[in-house]
């Protein structure tokens, strides 16, 4: 493409574990094989949505994020299985280790997706197709999980190829080269382009941009005028251009924030109840920051109201970066009382952003910040050794407290 230095030398694989959570359950329990398995949260605690569905369940129209009541309508014989996040993470790590046998250039994209750059490994493993075949065979043999492999000259093309071709291919592998983009990718709906959500799709469609090819052919200066720098990103992506490298350890680098969110087991109607959960979330977020040796200045909270009919999202800043729960909680509590209108709260999240290294401390004439910091790290060590509930705030013992329930979970789901 004129004006851009495009190379076809790279060979990038996007590996997607098919129906990952459901596949792990079927691999580890022979009684579930060939059955419509649905991994879902607990409907009694308002987390009853589909996280994954086996191919047998998908045949009945079951989709991710369907509520459980809808699953029962679509597929009455569905076997509902609670998620085991710790197990899924262990299997994901084993699959990552398999990937590293082929190349050190492996990027974790999500718990069930990996990018591999196999450029230059041809003399070791053969071409990208052969790597894909060997990788799929090893993953199936060692974990029982099946996967699909999209191959492209960059991460973007490999991702779109995997989602639209490899998952439907008999062998589970497909490749798009540079010369295939106009024929294969451009006729796809614009929503299939990585980075285009439903809202952006509506923006494009209002301008008559229905397919990826329409977006690729749209004048660049008009995209820049409407979307700024992102307009150029969309233009490049629609033309199959992506300069981003496959980056190992990508989740460990350049974290700009740290947060937690909770959907409450019931509507919390009093400020005192919400404050308990806000304090527990603060403890978790600050502990994560200390684990990363970070502190932050910007505190952000979001409250969702009952019936998902509104809420608010606000942020404030503290004078110096901190990972001390007391500092963060007081700022979050002030935000809550300033903006809460008394409506019962259904969900709440807290995050701390603008992170900096926790290697310097601002001196304070009226408090011993270094002592507070040492105490916080000491509590962390006790929890790491004896469990998250070895030490808890007294407020967590009240009916509103969720610390003991959350200690059984990873990412909001049971381990």
Three-state secondary structure string covering the chain: CCCCCCCCCCCEEEEEECCHHHHHHHHHCHHHCCCCEEEECCHHHCCCEEEEECHHHHCCCCCCCCEHHHHHHHCCCCEEECCCHHHHHHHHHHHHHHHCCCCCCEEEEECCEEEEECCCCHHHHCCHHHHHHHHHHHHHHHHCCCEEEEEECCHHHHHHHHHHCHHHCCCCEEECCHHHHHHHHCCCEHHHCCCCCHHHHHHHHHCCCCEHHHHHHCCHHHHHHHHCHHHHHHHHHHCCCCCCCCCCCHHHCCCCEEEEEEEEEEEECCHHHHHHHHHHHHHHHHHHHHHCCEEEEEEEEEEEEHHHCCEEEEEEEEEEEECCHHHHHHHHHHHHHHHCCCCCEEEEEEEEEEEEECCCCCCCCCCCHHHHHHHHHHHHHHHHHHCCCCCCCHHHHCCCCCHHHHCCEECCEEC
Confidence at residue 412, expressed as pLDDT on a 0 to 100 scale: 52
Sign of CA dihedral 238, 239, 244, 246: positive
- Whether the CB-CB separation of 216 and 186 falls below 8 Å is answered with yes
Q: Which residues are annotated as a binding site?
A: 16, 112
Distance CA 200, CA 202 (A): 5
Which two tokens mark 83? 């998620």
- Whether the CB-CB separation of 235 and 218 falls below 8 Å is answered with yes
Predicted structure pTM score:
0.68
Torsion of CA 176, 178, 184, 187, to 10 degrees: 140
CA proximity to 176, closest of 194, 148, 190, 156: 156
Q: Is 46 left (phi over 0), alpha (psi -120 to 50) or beta?
A: left
Q: Which residues are annotated as a binding site for Mg(2+)?
A: 16, 112
User: Which residues of the chain, if any, have pLDDT below 70?
Assistant: 1-8, 42-47, 249-256, 307-309, 360-366, 406-415
Distance CA 204, CA 237 (A): 14
Question: Active-site residue among 25, 56, 113, 175?
Answer: 113
Per the annotation, the verdict on 113 as an active-site residue is: yes
C-alpha separations of 34 from 54, 97, 146 in Å: 9, 28, 14
Question: What are the domain boundaries of the chain?
Answer: 254-414
Domain spanning 254-414: CATH 3.30.1490.100: yes
Confidence at residue 366, expressed as pLDDT on a 0 to 100 scale: 67
């Amino acid at each position: 493409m004129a004006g851009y230095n495009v190379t076809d030398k790279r060979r990038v694989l996007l590996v997607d574990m098919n129906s990952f959570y459901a596949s792990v359950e079927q691999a580890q329990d022979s009684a579930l094989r060939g059955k419509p398995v649905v991994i879902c949260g607990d409907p009694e605690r308002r987390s009853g949505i589909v996280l994954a569905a086996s191919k047998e369940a998908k045949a009945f129209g079951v989709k991710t994020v369907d509520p459980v009541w809808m699953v029962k309508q679509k597929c009455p014989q569905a076997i509902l299985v609670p998620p085991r996040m710790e197990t899924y993470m262990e299997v994901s790590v084993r699959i990552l280790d398999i990937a590293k046998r082929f190349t050190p250039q492996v990027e974790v994209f999500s718990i069930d997706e990996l990018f591999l750059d196999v450029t230059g490994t041809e003399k070791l493993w053969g071409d990208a197709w052969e790597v894909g075949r060997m990788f799929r065979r090893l993953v199936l043999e060692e974990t029982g999980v099946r996967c699909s492999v999209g191959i492209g000259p960059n991460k973007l093309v490999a991702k779109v190829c995997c989602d639209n071709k490899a998952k439907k291919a008999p062998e589970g592998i497909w490749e798009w080269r540079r010369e295939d983009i106009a024929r294969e990718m451009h006729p796809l709906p614009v929503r299939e382009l990585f980075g285009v959500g439903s809202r952006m799709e509506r923006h494009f469609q209002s301008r008559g941009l229905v397919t990826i090819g329409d977006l690729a052919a749209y004048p660049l200066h008009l995209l820049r005028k409407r979307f700024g720098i992102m307009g150029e990103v969309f233009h490049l992506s629609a033309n199959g251009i992506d300069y981003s490298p496959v980056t190992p350890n990508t989740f460990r680098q350049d974290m700009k924030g740290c947060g937690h969110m909770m959907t409450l087991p019931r509507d919390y109607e009093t400020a005192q109840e919400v404050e308990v959960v806000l304090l527990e979330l603060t403890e978790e977020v600050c502990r994560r920051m200390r684990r990363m040796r970070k502190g932050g200045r910007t505190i952000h909270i979001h409250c969702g109201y009952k019936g998902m009919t509104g809420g608010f999202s606000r942020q404030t800043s503290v004078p110096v970066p901190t990972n001390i729960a007391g500092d963060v909680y007081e700022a979050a509590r002030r935000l809550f009382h300033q903006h809460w209108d008394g409506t019962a709260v259904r969900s709440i999240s807290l995050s701390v952003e603008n992170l900096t290294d926790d290697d310097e401390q601002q001196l304070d004439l009226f408090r011993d910040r270094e002592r507070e910091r040492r105490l916080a790290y000491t509590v962390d060590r006790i929890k790491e050794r004896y469990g998250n509930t070895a030490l808890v705030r007294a407020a967590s013992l009240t009916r509103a407290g969720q610390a003991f329930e959350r200690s059984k979970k990873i990412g909001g789901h049971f381990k």
